[in-house]
Chains A and B, each alone.
Chain A
């Protein structure tokens, strides 16, 4: 795994919170049904209401981390809505099925450079993208001062709607 530089956690947490609040208010996300649960100053779980073309809403849960913020984007992990927020897996109801755009990939079990395997939400607005030796062009690269967590969440919001979003990877019970 490519190691990203750690940042001052207090500064990261404060910056992350300011940027998150700004995007939350600007897009009126609460009115769309978005929710957030703070796990600790550096981590939050965001509930993103995916919109099916029929209008049906399927909530997904994404853990964001500010370990490298905002020198690098937040870490991003789809999680299950159970105690401890464990990693969501493909083939379950907590993993979205997409007709994805070319600039994004969702990998259930990606091999990182150190030989470990983990989920990879693959686009240049996640920290994991830079941990996996991707090579963005200068215009694609996360730029401190130009991009905030808004860039991450706005792309997730975009793909969890028509025409990209299809359904949970496995039918949910409710």
Chain B
């Protein structure tokens, strides 16, 4: 039986762009992250952050989980916020 695709909404918080990524429930989170970078035409860099919009949870920490299991426990809406590094007062 074919699984229904899951849709991940990725917001690029650096420039306001939005990308929708369809993935198989059995796909790994890492695969969706790679697809997001490709859609945004970016290379991963030190300091990048990727958070679940609803919880603030770090998506990178779940790279090795399958998307369906990740969604069920950590980010039900599958809306992610990408932002690159930023400097501040202590740097």
Residues of A near any B CB (own CB < 8 A):
19, 22-23, 26-27, 101-105, 107, 122-125, 129, 134-137, 139-141, 146-148, 150-151, 154-155, 163
With A103-B86, A123-B86, A141-B87 given, name 18 new contacts (CB 8 A).
Answer: A19-B16, A102-B89, A103-B89, A103-B90, A103-B91, A124-B86, A124-B88, A125-B86, A136-B86, A136-B91, A137-B47, A139-B47, A139-B84, A139-B85, A140-B85, A140-B86, A150-B12, A155-B13
Residue picked from A101, A103, A104, most chain B C-beta under 10 Å:
A103
Q: Within 8 Å of chain A (Cβ to Cβ): is B45?
A: yes
CA distance in complex: A103, B56 (Å)? 16
Q: Mostly helix, strand, loop or mixed at chain A's interface? A: loop
Complex alpha-carbon distance, A101 and B81, angstroms? 17
Q: Is B4 an interface residue (CB 8 A)?
A: no
A-B contact count (CB 8 A): 90
* Given A123-B86, A139-B85, A146-B84, A134-B15 contact (CB < 8 Å): no
Measured CB to CB, the closest approach of chain A to B80, in angstroms, equals: 13
For residue A105, which residue of chain B has the nearest CB?
A: B89
CB distance from A99 to the nearest CB of B (A): 13
User: Is the Cβ of A147 less than 8 Å from the Cβ of B15?
Assistant: yes
